[in-house]
Amino acid sequence: MTNRLANVVVDGTDPRRLARFWAELLGWPVAHESDDEVDVRSPHAPWTFDLVFGSVPEPRSGKNRIHLDLASSSPGHQLELVERAVRLGARPADVGQHAVPWVVLADPEGNEFCVLEPREEYAGAGALAAVVVDVPDPSAAAEFWSAVAGLPVGRDDGTVAGLRPPPGLPWLEFLHSTAPKTRKDRLHLDVDPVGDQAAAVAELERRGATRVDVGQGPEVSWVVLADPWGGEFCVLRPGVTG
């Protein structure tokens, strides 16, 4: 089975504002815009990879289970990114990080993200270094998601496990957390099967995924699943963007 990581979907009450913020912060162009969705596209990924900002009525509450990490190339560049983010509407955020070399901020709707200090492993990722998922078992999550996203496990120290991407894509990382999942994820991942959608869904169900109803309705072209830790993700129909 071969899948590709296609999108990171971000729910928001004002997707246009969120998309403008992230497009300007990352330097990525807007690829699609409608009343209820705006797509911001990586200019460097080996295939189409978007941040998709969708409209939902409910405001954000509680710490997100998924967050984004931004890459920097030097201490000066890290400071420049932080200052740019604040000018665009970000604010400092406290998630219990204490004294760390990265800077934790929140976007205009409160979604946490980190501006990392320079790290060699992210040199080829582009502006977006990593998509980070809180899970109780990083090693098991990395093994499962390696099959879901078609990426190899690149590191695993028991506390953090990561899937190594091709140049231009972010790492997909799993961070140990004991916090229970209590609500629908504000951010989730989309995967694009290279082949038959139904066969990909069946294989993922065999590996431990389950079908879930998040209000998507019967008319959508994608299939909504949850991983073994309850995190929602969507399996797209090949050739259909949404």
| Structural domain count, the chain | 1
* 6: confidence class by pLDDT, cuts 50, 70, 90: very high
For the four alpha carbons of 113, 117, 122 and 127, in that order, the dihedral sign comes to positive
In a domain, 228, yes or no: no
Q: Is 236 exposed, middle or buried (0-12, 13-18, 19+ CB in 10 A)?
A: buried
Per residue in 73-82, pLDDT (tens digit) is 999 999 999 9
C-alpha Rg value of the chain to the nearest Å = 17
Domain of 8: which CATH number?
A: 3.10.180.10
3-state secondary structure the chain: CCEEEEEEEEEECCHHHHHHHHHHHHCCCEEEECCCEEEEECCCCCCCCEEEEEECCCCCCCCCCEEEEECCCCHHHHHHHHHHHHHHCCEECCCCCCCCCCEEEECCCCCEEEECCCCHHHCCCCCEEEEEEEECCHHHHHHHHHHHHCCCEEEECCCEEEECCCCCCCEEEEEECCCCCCCCCCEEEEEEECCCHHHHHHHHHHCCCEECCCCCCCCCCCEEEECCCCCEEEECCCCCCC
pLDDT surpasses 70 at 99: yes
* 178: confidence class by pLDDT, cuts 50, 70, 90: very high
Mean pLDDT of the chain, nearest integer? 94
* 98: confidence class by pLDDT, cuts 50, 70, 90: confident
What is the Cα–Cα distance from 117 to 137, expressed in whole angstroms?
26
Per residue in 32-90, pLDDT (tens digit) is 999 899 999 999 999 999 999 999 998 888 899 999 999 999 999 999 999 999 999 99
pLDDT of residue 242: 46
Range of the domain at 43: 3-184
In a domain, 219, yes or no: no
- Residue 52: phi and psi, rounded to 5, are -110, 120
In a domain, 34, yes or no: yes
Mode of pairing for the β-strands spanning 66-70 and 112-115: parallel
Per residue in 120-149, pLDDT (tens digit) is 999 999 999 999 999 999 999 999 999 999
In a domain, 203, yes or no: no
* 195: confidence class by pLDDT, cuts 50, 70, 90: confident
In a domain, 57, yes or no: yes
* 225: confidence class by pLDDT, cuts 50, 70, 90: very high
In a domain, 202, yes or no: no
